[in-house]
Amino acid sequence: MAAAFPSTRLRRTRTHDWSRRLHRETTLSPADLIWPLFVIDGEGQEQPVSSLPGVSRWSVDLLVERVGEAIDLGIPCVALFPNTPAQLRSETAEEAWNPDNLLCRAVRAIRERYGDAIGVICDVALDPYTSHGQDGLLDEHNYVANDATIEALVKQSLNQAAAGADVIAPSDMMDGRVGAIRQALEEAGHTNVQIMSYAAKFASAFYGPFRDAVGTGGRLKGDKRTYQLDPGNSDEAMREIALDIAEGADSVMVKPGLAYLDIIRMARDRFDVPIFAYQVSGEYALIEAGVAAGIGEREALVMEKLIAFKRAGCAGILTYHAPLAARVLAG
């Protein structure tokens, strides 16, 4: 038990900057960051995302330049999300396993330019490829069919792994998909391809700008509550995480992040796998709106929120502010 005041003065170690740094319990580095990037068709194309100030969609050639920027900043990994051309979206999402689809072309371009200098995460879900905007295939009652969707997700995952993806990240929340994907990867010889499972993905109001960025917002029919988690359920989130780990996930993700720090902490205390969080589009947009309204300074707001993720137990954070944070951390 600590001695009483004045023998113990907790302010003593806060007096100087060097001492505050020495006693800091939680630290952040560029190696903790993953930069989500949006890719579009074409060449020499940048499309700013209106609902995400400062974020753009990039054609493959310009996306490759952004990846080089990430390498220079010490960011170890990028996560790619395609805005599939409208004419290639369908009820059955066949474009998801086309070897020459937009995402696969982007992965190959990154590999050709940079080799293994940076990790590439590929999202696995059908919403960028379906005409209805759902993450899976619909049955005759417009219900997302679990098992039929898994078959499609396996084909999508193998397609991405063949293109050179380092990490497959299933974000669809279908039951049993991690085990099916892991088995397929092993059988195809992709034994070192990781699975970062969106194990605790909640049905959230914070996803709107992302759906704009990938072109699914206006297409979405209904909602995603039959497969994404209810925001009130923490025990169910732990069950989802446990199942995905048992099926072969190398790491798991909690999404969104800031409103679910308790879920991150529970997962960190309970499971011995890396826990990641996605600071989602709505969280990013709220920071930018706050800055525009003059309620706070961008760097301070960003860094305080990122350290909160680390303090809660995250091994890393997906954030659109990754380049800004890396520059701040570099001094």
Classified as helix, coil or strand, 263 is helix
Distance separating the N- and C-terminal Cα atoms of the chain: 38
The pair of three-digit structure tokens given for residue 89, joined into one six-digit string: 């979206």
DSSP output for 147-205: HHHHHHHHHHHHHHHHHT-SEEEE-S--TTHHHHHHHHHHHTT-TT-EEEEEEEEB--S
The pair of three-digit structure tokens given for residue 322, joined into one six-digit string: 């990754």
CA angle, 249 then 255 then 258, to 5°: 135
Q: Tell me, yes or no, if 155 is annotated catalytic.
A: no
Whether residue 88 contacts residue 95, with contact meaning beta carbons closer than 8 Å, is answered with: yes
Cα 164 to Cα 308: distance, rounded to the nearest angstrom: 33
Active-site option among 224, 255, 305, 310: 255
CA angle, 207 then 212 then 216, to 5°: 90
Strand partners, 252: 197, 275
Classified as helix, coil or strand, 62 is helix
Give the CA-trace dihedral at 200, 158, 318, 39, to 10 degrees.
Answer: -130
Residue whose C-alpha is closest to residue 322's, from 302, 292, 296, 307: 302
Q: How many residues does the chain have?
A: 331
Q: Tell me, yes or no, if 201 is annotated catalytic.
A: yes
Catalytic residue annotation:
201, 255
